[in-house]
Structure 1
């Protein structure tokens, strides 16, 4: 029996990359996993199938984030999928987008969009999800090492969205703490995902440089981050809350 047997989890942005890694790990630990996706239904179904193939239980729910009413619509889809048992034990706010423009070039539309997806959506997903979250539950927000180190100036706006998420994490831990609910942020470094494939997988020199950032001398994997999230979601993580957890492989050491 897995350590999360009998638990229900929602992982946003779980159709690929870090989100998929987290969803699959929680599924292996026994949780029933709601696999959220924004647009790629086929990839979300692949995640569901992978969880099922490993003996777990999962279902997909689709909802674009960063649009008006996104949180309410996502929870409505969740409620419809789970039926009478609307209870939730674990919420992982993983979905996020990056920026493609530098400080000099970014416009208001792109700026507003990245904040809407990375900061506003997690806030209201937690606000509206709190009534579904059982006492003793878990919220994990996926942050970034860039909120604590200005290593990539062109990602300034992205880092700002995650810095706000870090503050939200600390305050929310105080709000929900009386119910035994823990709230933490996990900060990945450079992770080998499809999002980074163009430069990380196809350029050996770039990969070597990325690996050199880590004290462990390699690029991280979604499974590395999923392991940290699984710990926080388990009973072993019950006394950790309000924390920003460096999961960059020592890149900020």
Structure 2
């Protein structure tokens, strides 16, 4: 029986790349989107605003319906908490509005969405939470709020691994370095000056391709990673070593 993965924010960027990587590996994919579901792929798309906690009951109901109708199951195997928003700004410049948006999506929303979905994750399943290389290095020094939210995600993941261990469920973090997606306005994809600068401080000399980050996530969901839990795996090409 094929495994089933749920990916938040799978309509674009790293989430879409992860969905495609898992489909290629024979995994059935359900992904969430806000607004535009993105280009059609062989997956189930469900609308969800991760920061809207009031919508989680209805979302869980929709997910149960899809699991029953399409797959004949009551649970799924892999949860990838990928959905995110980015806002650069120094500590002095960060607005309450920008802070709260990141808090609701990256931390508060991710925490309580995971909580809501725990009964639907199969014993022996896997959880991968997306973080960032910016919890290890400060980059340009303008991501304090964003990186702090992701730091909370990394601590949460250790507790999640401990709590879910008796069910045989692993929980790990994949922390990407800069990748060429539309995230944050697409500068890492489109601005050659920015890309060259990142490459100059990265051991492998370039910005990541989205599919390379997706491959790291897929690896953590694969059969060979079953004895790894509570860990942070950075996929940054050796940035700022």
With structure 1 as the length reference, what TM-score do the two structures score? Answer: 0.89
Say which of 59, 62, 65 aligns to 2:44: 59
Segments of structure 1 that go 5 or more residues without pairing to the other structure are: 53-57
Cα contact 2:85–2:184 (8 A) shared by 1: no
Map residues 7-86 of structure 1 onto 2, 5 A cutoff: 7-41=3-37, 43=38, 46=39, 48-49=40-41, 52=42, 58-83=43-68, 85-86=73-74
1:104 aligns with 2:104: no
* Structure 1 position 198, deviation (Å): 4.3
Query: How many corresponding residue pairs?
Result: 238
Cα contact 2:85–2:183 (8 A) shared by 1: no
Say which of 231, 236, 247 aligns to 2:224: 236
Cα contact 1:38–1:63 (8 A) shared by 2: yes
For residues 171-191 of structure 1, the C-alpha deviation after alignment (integer angstroms, 9 at most, x for no partner) is 100000111100000000110
Say which of 152, 157, 171 aligns to 2:159: 171
**SS of residue matched to 1:139:** strand
Spell out structure 1 runs of 4+ moving beyond 6 A.
none
**SS of residue matched to 1:153:** coil
* Structure 1 position 206, deviation (Å): 1.9
* More displaced 10-residue stretch of structure 1: 195-204 or 172-181: 195-204
* Structure 1 position 88, deviation (Å): 0.9
* Structure 1 position 196, deviation (Å): 5.1
* Structure 1 position 70, deviation (Å): 3.6
